[in-house]
Amino acid sequence: MPEPSTRKPIDLSKVKPYADHLGDGIVQMSFTLPVPYGLAARKAAQELAAKMGFEHPEVVHYQELTDGYTYFVMFGEATQTVDYSTLSDEGFDVEYMGEDEIEAFANRRIGRPIVVVGAATGTDTHSVGIDAMLNLKGFHGHHGLEGYKAFQTHNLGSQVPNSVLVSRAIDLDADAILVSQTVTQQNLHIANLTELVEIVEAEGRRKQLILTCGGPRVSNELAKELGFDAGFSKGTYPHHVASFIVRELAARIDRTDG
Residue choice 49, 102, 106, 133 for contact with ligand B12 (CB under 6 A): 133
Kindly state whether residue 153 participates in binding ligand B12, applying the rule CB under 6 A.
no
Residue 90: partners with Cβ closer than 8 Å, 6 or more residues away: 219, 220, 221
Closest by CA to 180, choosing from 132, 229, 244, is 132
The Cα 122–Cα 180 span in angstroms is 10
Min. distance of Cβ 21 from ligand B12 in angstroms? 30
Q: What's the closest the beta carbon of residue 53 comes to ligand B12, in angstroms?
A: 25
Cα 28 to chain centroid, rounded: 23
Q: Is 233 near ligand B12 (CB under 6 A)? A: yes
Distance CA 11, CA 83 (A): 9
User: Segment 185-204, which members bind ligand B12 (CB under 6 A)?
Assistant: 185
- Piece of the chain touching ligand B12 by CB under 6 A; list 27-35, 85-93, 130-138, 197-205: 130-138
Instruction: Compute how many residues bind ligand B12; rule: CB under 6 A.
Output: 29
CB of 78 to ligand B12, least distance (A): 23
Pick from 9, 111, 141, 235: which binds ligand B12 (CB under 6 A)? Answer: 235
Q: Under the criterion CB under 6 A, does residue 213 sit at the interface with ligand B12?
A: yes
Nearer to ligand B12, 25 or 215 (CB): 215
SS3 31: strand
Q: Give dist(CA 212, CA 184) in Å, integer.
A: 17
Cα dist. 182→119, 132, 164, 210, 231 in Å?
A: 12, 13, 19, 21, 13
Is residue 137 among the annotated active site residues? yes
The nearer residue to ligand B12, 14 or 137, going by C-beta atoms, is 137
Q: Which residue is nearest to ligand B12 (CB)?
A: 214
Q: Which listed residue (33, 165, 178, 193) binds ligand B12 by CB under 6 A?
A: 178
Q: How far is CA 180 from CA 71, 155, 212, 234, in A?
A: 31, 11, 9, 12
Distance from C-alpha of 253 to C-alpha of 201, rounded to nearest angstrom:
20
- Select 75 or 92, whichever has its Cβ closest to ligand B12: 92
Q: Which residue in 153, 182, 220, 243 binds ligand B12 (CB under 6 A)? A: 182
DSSP string, 218-247: --HHHHHHTT-SEEE-TT--HHHHHHHHHH
Catalytic, out of 14, 43, 137, 224: 137
Give the binding site for ligand B12 (CB under 6 A): 123-130, 132-133, 139, 178-180, 182-185, 212-216, 232-236, 241
Active site residues: 137
